[in-house]
Chains A and B, each alone.
Chain A
Amino acid sequence: MEGGLSSSILWTLGPVAISGTVVTTWAVTVLLALFAWLVGRRLKVEGPGRLQAAVEGMVDLAREAVEAVLPGRSAQVLPFVATLWAYLLTANLVGLVPGLHSPTRDLSATSALAILVFLSVHWFGIRAQGLRAYLDHYMKPFPLLLPFHLLGEVTRTVALAVRLFGNMMSLEMAALLILLLAGFLVPVPILMLHIVEGLVQAYIFGMLALLYIAGGIQSQQPQPER
């Protein structure tokens, strides 16, 4: 089975193997940056164009979602979470293009994203409440729970990576198996499911990252009403 669990290697650059995942990731990054630059080049307050109105709608949607979880802090966290959403959305759906694989069906790509989330939880947490107060929350409600806090940090990061990877890979593999068993054009319904699943998984990954960051920021304060 072609590339059963890991991505195929396109070429090697010295000791570094460049896999298809890396190339697709680069392409998605460049495309998104180019798109953002093109849209942001000429913004108008009076009479915005169709594209500007559409993108503004998306940004507003993301800001509302962040604002619902972290009231008053959305300006700080929104860039990271919205970038995750935009990138994952594109990366999940790029697998539908014939000949391309989603970068997110590779465990190394999703692990990189999960590590980013893991680091940013501490970054935002320390920035919001200072190093001492942030480290102190690992000792709450009493110091005996420290190992469990640390274990939770690790397992939820691993879970974040494996969830996205498992979902994307299993869908692609299911489509492949149906193609092998049934033949041409039969996996199309599964590919439609792939669209829904890509959207849902991108939303969930970003939302969980947001919730973890919110947990890091608000570990001292009482949780707001959800």
Chain B
Amino acid sequence: MTDMTWFTSLSTVAAALAIAVGVLGPAVAMGRAVGQALDAIARQPEAERAIVRTLFIGLAMIESLAIYCLVIVLIVLFRNPLLEYILPR
């Protein structure tokens, strides 16, 4: 196999693996956060506004972890800076 074939297949596998593994943690965290927030609202319905506001901010923080993964994957797939070592100039 040529260098280019290795490069494309390996980066595709790496991208798929990275997003698959990288989403696991945020998924667990988001599930826990929403579950706890529902629990809190069920106990104290009058505190719903504050809980929902904090929940949304927390979810955004957690979600940004998955977004970092996505950005890295997209860089690997579309704008890989290491590609110039392989491509003939």
Contact = CB atoms under 8 A, between A and B. Distances in A.
A223 B83 CA distance: 50
Contacts of A80: none
B28 interface: no
A170 B79 contact: no
A203 interface: yes
Contacts of B57: 204, 207-208, 211
A165 B67 CA distance: 9
A163 interface: yes
Given A166-B64, A204-B60, A208-B60, A226 B71 contact: no
B82 interface: no
A167 interface: yes
B70 A170 contact: yes
Range class of the B interface residue count: 10 to 19
B64 to A, nearest CB: 4
Contact of B64 (A68, A162, A207): A162
B70 A200 contact: no
B17 interface: no
B71 to A, nearest CB: 5
Nearest to A1: B78
Interface in B67-89: 67-68, 70-71, 74-75, 78-79
Interface centre among A162, A163, A173, A200 (most CB of B within 10 A): A163
Nearest to B68: A162
A157 to B, nearest CB: 13
A68 B52 CA distance: 14
A207 B70 contact: no
A170 B67 contact: yes
A204 B79 contact: no
Interface in A131-165: 159, 162-163, 165
A169 B78 CA distance: 14
Interface string A193-217: 0000000110110011001000000
B54 interface: yes
A27 interface: no
Nearest to A170: B70
Given A162-B68, A166-B68, A166-B71, A226 B60 contact: no
Interface of B: 50, 53-54, 56-57, 60, 63-64, 67-68, 70-71, 74-75, 78-79
